[in-house]
Amino acid sequence: MDASMRGYLLNRLADLMERDRTYLASLETLDNGKPYGISYTVDVPGSIKVLRYYAGWADKNHGKTIPIDGNYFAYTRHEPVGVCGQIIPWNFPLLMQSWKLGPALAAGNVVVMKPAEQTPLTALYVAQLIKEAGFPAGVVNIVPGFGAAGAAISEHMDVDKVAFTGSTEVGHRIQQAAGRSNLKRVTLELGGKSPCIVLKDSDIATAVDQAHFGLFFNHGQCCCAGSRTFVEEAIYDEFVERSAEKAKQKTLGNPFDLRTEQGPQIDEEQMARILSLIDSGKQEGATLLAGGGRHGDKGFFVQPTVFADVQDNMQIAREEIFGPVQQIIKFKDMDELIRRANNTIYGLASAIFTKDINKAMYLSQGIRAGTVWINCYNVLGAQTPFGGFKMSGIGRENGEYGLEAYTEVKTVIAAIPQKNS
Amino acid sequence: MASRNIPIKYTEIFINNKFVKSIDGKVFSVIDSANEQKICDVQEGDEADINLAVEAAKNAFRFGSPWRTMDASKRGSLMYKLVELASRDKDYLARLETLHNGKPLAESQADVEFSIGCLRHYAGWADKIHGSVIPSDGPHMTITRKEPVGVVGQIIPWNYPLLMTAWKWGPALATGCTIVMKPSVNTPLTTLHMAALSKEAGFPDGVINIVPGRGSTAGNALSKHMDVNKIAFTGSTAIGKKIMKVAAETNLKRVSLELGGKSPLIILPDADIDEAVSFSQDAIYVTMGQCCSAGSRTLVHESIYDEFVKKSVEAAKKRKIGDPFEKDVNHGPMVSEKQFKRVMSYIETGKKEGAKIETGGNRWGTKGYFIEPTIFTEVKDSMEIARDEIFGPVQLIFKFSSMEEAFERANRTYYGLAAGIVTKNIDSALMFAQKVQAGSVWVNCWNSQRPQTPFGGYKESGFGRDLGEEGLNNYLETKTITIRVPQKNS
């Protein structure tokens, strides 16, 4: 098949998702619990954009011709890796499916995908659209299942590559399975405990808004959530007060009600875990300023929670909570800041709020994270690579970089009678 | 002759998403070269119209404009929309192309598909144009921004009107430039229809402007305009040189040129003769030889020469000449009376110089500018017909004895657009590909340009490349930005 035809099919799929966007957004909210307004304006369009972006790459994945020493004609072919196992999470089911299918299919691979057991429905509907778009049989296969299905993919001798988005804990297991079996290529997009840094010269209202958004978006169920908010001493008290106020004003409820800002957590297990971590915060002596418990008694709702006076060694400052719990931490000087921001096993994202260009440059160089946001948060695009330093993962998704994991490079060297430049 | 029931919708100058009349009221006629009848009149643009168009393009490009502040991906979306509309109208576009150009309908249909594929390819590039972040010495952060070069003048020829429109719009729109295009007075109609589609697709006012007109007036005005940042020209080498001179004399606007050719096709002794004959015929007779990349010099090894000539004559005689709208016709008229006369004159010259006509050489019929598929043999490299670009259905077959000799003769030309070789031998193919001074080298094929493959000339066939990622380079300007930082860390 012409590479450009692969692109054409991806654009067809995007067209069909566009056609069915109302249904897809409804199904996503039903399955996941995120507010319908968000499914409709963020998740579905975001998924479509990523597919269209990669549709454009399909016939642009260039190998090179290379001036090797000797009488040879040398070039590289960029080939598809082959059979790609893709294991995706429950927090952004549709979006994660597109992030995975886009580059894999653009580069000519075939896919076996395991959606999360909590949220298989939009992935399965898209499977039907894939058939309708005209992809040949067997190019995309979807197997809903639990961890065992994921393990089967990771251990399989005929799977050439596995891509996983989920917890760091499972990420370890997948990489080990790959090593034990056939050395399948591995990319991982895992957890985070991302620092959101607010300097005293920033616009406080914007910083409070963005830091809040950076933590509470998707009910805190974001790998890149800004879950350690470092605020400079001089503005600390005002920042804390405003943040607590903002958290208290949030509307929780039925995600299909357009007034709802925060829906339920994904399931009982996650809710219990979050509540347990909140308890640890209370016990370790952090100051609770908003929320602190379950909301209502039906549905897995957790109150938007704000902790101040959080110390670096508290559990809530070190472990990924994956819920609507904000930790606000005080700092005094810039040098300790980089050390403390980097003092984590994770390295997924970070943000810096400041007007000072020198401080922005300095911190953005020093922070060990795959994404640095300056005066904004959670800005993600199909065009920009995303992924983790350290134990937040391996490899990058989106952008041109996203093609690398799905490309295997073959070098071809042909002898010729005489080489000329 | 088949009925020409093709409604002509757009015959005016297109500026700021509006169709307008020419300022001094001039019009020119578009002729159906198959029956010498007038198709319609079109508004003729001159310097004053060009000035208005450039003004519109400059305004659309101003800092803060809708076009400049638009997401790159949205530029791509608009291009995909244009693709959708061109696909919707593809039958009409193909028929309109054959009407004003004269090429067989099947060729126009292929041109339409290629045009759509080209726009689609570039729609995908829009948000993938990357600058660099560079580890420069010193306490700096250094980045490059790839900016659109600005207002681009685009002068396109009459041989592939729609295709050239797509080849030029693709990279210009993907990179975010604004356009003033001058199509040929022979063939303005499909470009004007595309302009209407671009408005329907939603491109902001002034991003695309079309001024049909003559080279000496409108073309010249565009080439010398002080507010045009770049000019792209496809056409003859003679005019290309003029444009480059004018650009230098005025504001050093960036220039890219895609000019003529006298492209060699070499047939080695291990070639399959039937296949080679078929390639070489397509290479010279497509669009009746009115192709910059025509394979106008066929060099055949002496061991297969006689059989090759015999089979070529048979194949040329089998071409069906006639009304380009009729089924099975694969040879239409030349685009105009002027081109017809020019090619006939070269045929006369060839006869006078002593080359032998194996077939053809005459006008076909009495109405319409048809020339028979013609083959000359016993051509010496020094003859005018061997050196000049004829731009007509005239195949020249040469004999050679050694491969080295063939490669040398292939390069003995001021041109360097394309070259081909028919052989199964990998060493011969690779050595030829290295040695020949041509922008495109085709092995066991001809005219294999696709949306993804850069195309352009060595030497006097021009410079700059169209198509593929390379095609973007003509439309970009690199800005290096350096920010001092307190301390640089790797």
Residues B215 and B303 in one domain: no
What digits encode the pLDDT tens for the residues A149-200? 999 999 999 999 999 999 999 999 999 999 999 999 999 999 999 999 999 9
Distance from CA of B137 to the nearest CA of A (A): 16
Q: Is residue B79 packed enough to be buried (19+ CB in 10 Å), middle (13-18) or exposed (0-12)?
A: buried
Q: What is the 3-state secondary structure (H, E, C) of B186-208?
A: CCCHHHHHHHHHHHHHCCCCCCE
B380 Cβ partners below 8 Å, 6+ apart?
Answer: B353, B354, B355, B386
| Per-residue confidence (pLDDT) for residue B69, from 0 to 100 | 96
Residues B238 and B363 in one domain: no
- Chain B residues whose C-beta is within 8 A of a chain A C-beta are 72-73, 76-77, 80, 117, 120-121, 123-128, 130, 141, 426-427, 430-431, 434-435, 451-452, 469, 483, 485-489
Distances (CA, A) of B148 to B24, B89, B151, B177: 33, 30, 9, 5
Beta strand A287-290 with A305-308 is: antiparallel
Residue B489: inside a domain, yes or no?
Answer: no
Backbone phi and psi for residue A135, each to the nearest 5 degrees, phi listed first: -65, 140
The pTM (predicted TM-score) of the whole model is 0.94
Q: Which residue of A has its CA nearest to B77?
A: A52
**CB contact at 8 A, A203 and A169:** no
3-state secondary structure of A292: coil
| Per-residue confidence (pLDDT) for residue B4, from 0 to 100 | 84
Residues B358 and B463 in one domain: no
Residue B1: inside a domain, yes or no?
Answer: no
Residues B208 and B188 in one domain: yes
- Is 90 exceeded by the pLDDT of residue A334? no
**CB contact at 8 A, B22 and B46:** yes
Distance of CA B355 to the CA centre of its chain: 30
- Is 80 exceeded by the pLDDT of residue B3? no
Residues B292 and B198 in one domain: no
3-state secondary structure of B472: helix
Residues B306 and B174 in one domain: no
Find, among B262, B297, B315, B268, the residue nearest to B443 by Cα. B268
DSSP B165-185: HHHHHHHHHHHT-EEEEE--S
Residue B47: inside a domain, yes or no?
Answer: yes
- Is 80 exceeded by the pLDDT of residue B152? yes
What digits encode the pLDDT tens for the residues B14-26? 999 999 999 999 9
CB contact under 8 A, B120 and A4: yes
Residues B239 and B107 in one domain: yes
Residue B450: inside a domain, yes or no?
Answer: no
Q: Which residues of B touch A362 (CB under 8 A)?
A: 485-487
CB contact under 8 A, A49 and B487: no
**CB contact at 8 A, B289 and B264:** no
| Residues A321-337, mean pLDDT to the nearest whole number | 95
What digits encode the pLDDT tens for the residues B324-348? 999 999 999 999 999 999 999 999 9
DSSP assigned state of B355: P
Kindly state the helix (H) or strand (E) to which residue A173 belongs, with its residue range: helix A168-180
Residues B247 and B273 in one domain: no
- Using alpha carbons only, give the angle A281, A284, A285 rounded to the nearest 5 degrees: 90
**CB contact at 8 A, B15 and B209:** yes
| Residues B264-290, mean pLDDT to the nearest whole number | 97
CB contact under 8 A, B451 and A4: yes
The two structure tokens encoding residue A273: 């875990």
DSSP A329-353: EEE--HHHHHHHHH-SS--SEEEEE
Residues B253 and B273 in one domain: no
Residue B114: inside a domain, yes or no?
Answer: yes
For helices B90-101 and B72-88, give the axis angle rounded to 10 degrees: 70
**CB contact at 8 A, B324 and B104:** yes
Distance from CA of A147 to the nearest CA of B (A): 37
- Chain A residues whose C-beta is within 8 A of a chain B C-beta are 3-4, 7-8, 11, 49, 52-53, 55-60, 62, 73, 357-358, 361-362, 365-366, 382-383, 400, 414, 416-420
Residue B6: inside a domain, yes or no?
Answer: no
Find, among B243, B226, B239, B177, the residue nearest to B471 by Cα. B177
Q: Which residue of B has its CA nearest to A4?
A: B121
Dihedral angle sign, alpha carbons of residues B389, B394, B400, B406: positive
Distances (CA, A) of A112 to A84, A124, A141, A142, A367: 6, 12, 5, 6, 36
| Residues A72-88, mean pLDDT to the nearest whole number | 97
| Residues B463-470, mean pLDDT to the nearest whole number | 97
Residues B84 and B230 in one domain: yes
| Per-residue confidence (pLDDT) for residue B75, from 0 to 100 | 98
- B258 labelled catalytic: yes
CATH of the domain at B213: 3.40.605.10
DSSP assigned state of B162: H
Widest Cα–Cα separation across chain A? 81
Q: How many domains does chain B have?
A: 2
| Residues A79-104, mean pLDDT to the nearest whole number | 98
Contacts A–B by Cβ distance under 8 A: 74
- Is 80 exceeded by the pLDDT of residue B314? yes
Predicted confidence band at B59 (pLDDT cuts at 50, 70, 90)?
Answer: very high
Distance from CA of B121 to the nearest CA of A (A): 7
Predicted confidence band at B438 (pLDDT cuts at 50, 70, 90)?
Answer: very high
Number of C-beta neighbours around residue A290 at 10 A: 21
Distance from CA of A1 to the nearest CA of B (A): 15
Mean pLDDT of chain A: 97
**CB contact at 8 A, B362 and B350:** no
Number of C-beta neighbours around residue B388 at 10 A: 14
Distance from CA of B472 to the nearest CA of A (A): 13
What digits encode the pLDDT tens for the residues A101-113? 999 999 999 999 9
Q: Which of A59, A361, A382 sits opposite B452 (nearest CB)?
A: A59
Find, among A209, A242, A263, A253, the residue nearest to A308 by Cα. A242
Predicted confidence band at B359 (pLDDT cuts at 50, 70, 90)?
Answer: very high
Residue B370: inside a domain, yes or no?
Answer: yes
- Is 90 exceeded by the pLDDT of residue B401? yes
Residues B325 and B231 in one domain: no
Q: Which residues of A touch B80 (CB under 8 A)?
A: 11, 52
| Residues A190-214, mean pLDDT to the nearest whole number | 98
Residues B276 and B373 in one domain: yes
| B146, B450, B452, B490, best to mutate vs chain A, most A CBs in 10 Å | B452
Q: Residue type at A11?
A: N
Residue B251: inside a domain, yes or no?
Answer: yes
- Is 80 exceeded by the pLDDT of residue A325? yes
| B79, B434, B449, best to mutate vs chain A, most A CBs in 10 Å | B434
Rounded CA Rg of chain B: 23
Distances (CA, A) of A93 to A114, A122, A371: 11, 7, 22
Domain extent at residue B291: 264-443
The Cα–Cα gap between B259 and B245 comes to 15
| Residues B217-221, mean pLDDT to the nearest whole number | 98
Half-sphere exposure of residue A196: CA atoms within 13 angstroms, side-chain side: 26
The two structure tokens encoding residue A48: 């479509």
